[in-house]
Amino acid sequence: MSEPTPLQPLAPHLAPMADAFAAAEQAARQQEQDAAAQAEARRKAELEQAELEDDARAIKDAFKRGGMKLALAMGRSCKTSWTADQVEDLIYPPPPPPPAAGGDGDGGQRPPAGPQPDEGDEPPKWKLKKNPVKALPKDCPVTPLGIDGEVCFYLTPNGQFLPLESHAAEGLRKLFSPDVPWLWGNFPKFKENTGEQTNWDAAKASDSLIQACGRRGPFDPAEKLRGVGAWHSPSGQLILHCGDQIFDGASWQKPGFVGDFVYPGAAALAKPFPWSEDDMEADAERKRFFAELKALLTILDSWNWAAEFEVNAETGERVNFHGTEHKLSSILVLGWICSALVGGALDWRPMIWLTGEAAAGKSTLQKLVAAIMGARLVTSSDATAAGIYQSVGYSSRAAGIDEAEADPNSQKMKGMVELVRQSSSGGNILRGSSDPKKWRGFTARSSFLLSSIVIPPLFGQDLTRITILPLAPLPKGSQKPKIETARWAAFGTMLLARLLDNWERWEATLDSYAIALGELGHDARGGEQLGGLLAMADMVRFDEIQSDDIALCCAPFDKRNQPKDETTSQQFLNWLITKTVVAFRGGNQMTIGALVAGAAGLVDLQGEGATPASYAAALHAHGVFVEGFRDEATVTLPNQSAGLAHLLDGSPWGTKPGAALSGWQQAMQRLCTARGPDGQPLGKKINTRKLGIGRGWSLPAKIFLRMEEE
């Protein structure tokens, strides 16, 4: 392989050209270095200018919040370390220098005005302010909750719930009280000529508050607001709202957000009794609790309870609850007190209605319960449903209504019964209001203890929600128990602490009683109502579920040999067949049931000229049609009938002019479609123009008259 050719020396005549290229490259590199240095200098200058501007803004903001003293302190803490003179010049800029004098120093003349803009020149453009709405500082004492239409919702510095529509200065003062000075420090207003703070800026404060509520999003108090009382967490823990503090299942919290719900501040309620951590003291407290519990049951036993289950039907002797010598009604009242203390945490709230003649002790019993529950019970002797739900509001406080009847058939009492019905299962109470700041609905979660001489007419759906406890007059010479308010108030805190300690077993305890009652003939509703009262009493009487004794506790409430509760359709038949009408000439009155039995040939007819046909004809005017004879006889009620409308006017099964669906049509449909022992429908739907009936429902006459029921 041949050797590589060595580099040849540069030709002498090319050397000047090489030197020129090298010099040009050197000059280019120098220019790049100079340009980079200039760019770096500009960048540093821009950074310094930006820092100066940021510092200037911070100093001005400090002056607005705290005057010159705070501005000077801010200037000293800035990176650029402003002097006092620089800060003062920034806050109070020196006036511009006077125009230069003309001529020979004799004052001269005003310099000529600058050129005027042509008519076609554009006016100066407006500059939008960046971030014009100030975000609420983190130390804001008011908590925005959200917005609903024109109303914003807040928690005040005291934790109280406050809806606000108008955000004028007066409303904001109430919202921020007692921390109104915070508005002065964060939204100041100054005199332009002196820089002295004169007030706070309500417009800017309202902008920030409304903006914060908007960012929180829609807020529905009926769904998210929980007032004083007991509640449960999503995991089933017992939450106690005691007004100024909230127990969240693990520790005590201030009013505000606990999980997804808002617990607003309110007047303080008595907190659960704080059991001692010392073993000896705790044992003494436990003994005192059970002694007071026995004393309470003994006092309750002094009332003359007259419920059927208080007496053994076979022996006629009074029943003692589970060998304790206590009366069954006393145990149920204890169960109600316990359920009322934690009513908002229950899926089903059992209700009690005390009834008896005057001087039976109803009002005294209400006072005893009020002493135990304190402010957790809303009491009244002349309440309306509206008054109760306005007093209870978003809380879960219970209600004790004494002398509830006034007029058992009045709209006032109907409204009260409706409220009781809704509260048992946590129904929504909705009420319109022209004032958008007023609440328009809430979930009713109150337990009710009502008492009256006469109980108003109740439907089956109401009877399944209310345990009625009759009271007989007290024996002559008996004295009313003395209500020691302080003593029973202290015991009430012990009851609450006991329920809190045993809350983990509540569901299992309720299920055990519901199963035992189901085996005794009670339906699911009975297990919730009666079982709830017995289970609550169990929660405070025992440390653990008394599984072996529950059947004995429930034995007095055996319903297996009792007639079943009637459905509304069966109640309809009772109403209709006992309705009295003028049947024949002379003003003779007969019940619809007697006329149907005569028309169907099911009874022997008395009187001259009395025939099944005459009885059937008498029924036609009232919209009741009987066809067939004896076992083949049927009774048909048309869906639309003026006679039936008049006959059932004022009952739950009536109708209104122009209504497409009547109450009796619904009742008859349920009766006819019900299945008999053979599995076939008891009646049938008809559509005939015979006798002008049209569409309707038809039942066998014996079923219509309830002759085939056991």
- Rounded-to-integer distance, Cα 298 and Cα 357, Å: 22
Residue 372 · residue 488 · CB < 8 Å: yes
Residue ranges of the chain that CATH labels 3.40.50.300: 279-471+482-557
Model confidence, pTM: 0.71
Q: Closest by alpha carbon to 334, among 345, 355, 350, 316?
A: 350
Residue 231 · residue 345 · CB < 8 Å: yes
Q: Closest by alpha carbon to 561, among 529, 530, 527, 520?
A: 520
Question: Which residue carries 């030197």 as its tokens?
Answer: 19
Under DSSP, the state recorded for 536 is: H
Cβ burial 67-85 (10 Å sphere, 16+ → b, else e) = beeebbebbeebeeebeee
Tally Cβ neighbours within 10 Å of residue 283.
Answer: 11
3-state secondary structure 630-657: HHHCEEEEECCCHHHHHHCCCCCCCCCC
| Distance between start and end Cα atoms, the chain | 129
Q: Write out the two tokens for 55.
A: 């510092």
pLDDT value at position 278?
A: 93
Over the chain (710 residues), what is each successive 10-residue block's mean pLDDT? 54 66 78 82 79 81 78 78 79 63 49 52 65 89 94 95 93 95 92 85 94 93 92 93 93 92 94 94 96 96 87 72 81 96 94 90 94 93 77 90 68 82 78 52 85 83 86 84 94 97 95 89 87 94 81 74 70 89 78 89 78 87 89 90 88 83 88 87 83 83 79
pLDDT value at position 710?
A: 47
- Rounded-to-integer distance, Cα 230 and Cα 235, Å: 15
pLDDT value at position 385?
A: 76
Tally Cβ neighbours within 10 Å of residue 210.
Answer: 16
pLDDT value at position 370?
A: 96
Q: Given phi > 0 = left and psi -120 to 50 = alpha, else beta, which region is 663? A: alpha
pLDDT value at position 120?
A: 52
Q: In Å, what is the CA distance from 306 to each residue of 474, 561, 648? A: 11, 20, 35
Region 279-471+482-557: CATH code: 3.40.50.300
484 φ, ψ to 5°?
A: -90, 95
Residues 663-698 pLDDT 10s: 888 989 999 988 888 888 888 888 877 766 788 899
Torsion of CA 528, 531, 534, 540, to 10 degrees: -60
Question: Which residue carries 């359709």 as its tokens?
Answer: 569
17 φ, ψ to 5°?
A: -65, -40
Tally Cβ neighbours within 10 Å of residue 646.
Answer: 13
Sequence-separated (6 or more) residues with CB below 8 Å from residue 641 = 623
30 φ, ψ to 5°?
A: -65, -40
Q: Closest by alpha carbon to 632, among 668, 602, 592?
A: 602
pLDDT value at position 18?
A: 67
Tally Cβ neighbours within 10 Å of residue 666.
Answer: 16
Residue 463: in which H helix or E strand, if any?
helix 460-463
- Rounded-to-integer distance, Cα 323 and Cα 330, Å: 14
Q: Which residues pair with 344 in a beta bridge?
A: none
How would DSSP label each residue in 193-225?
A: TT--EEEE-HHHHHHHHHHHHHHH-B--HHHHB
Residue 646 · residue 621 · CB < 8 Å: no
pLDDT value at position 311?
A: 77
Rg (CA), the chain: 43
For 414, counting Cβ atoms within 10 Å of its Cβ (0-12 exposed, 13-18 middle, 19+ buried), the class is middle
Residue 162: in which H helix or E strand, if any?
strand 161-164
Q: Which residues pair with 696 in a beta bridge?
A: 638, 686
pLDDT value at position 123?
A: 56
3-state secondary structure 551-573: HHHHHHHCCCCCCCCCCHHHHHH
Residue 287 · residue 452 · CB < 8 Å: no
Q: Write out the two tokens for 250.
A: 């693990």
429 φ, ψ to 5°?
A: -100, 115
Under DSSP, the state recorded for 431 is: -
Residue positions counted in the chain: 710
Under DSSP, the state recorded for 438 is: S
To 5 degrees, how large is the angle CA 309–CA 311–CA 316?
Answer: 145
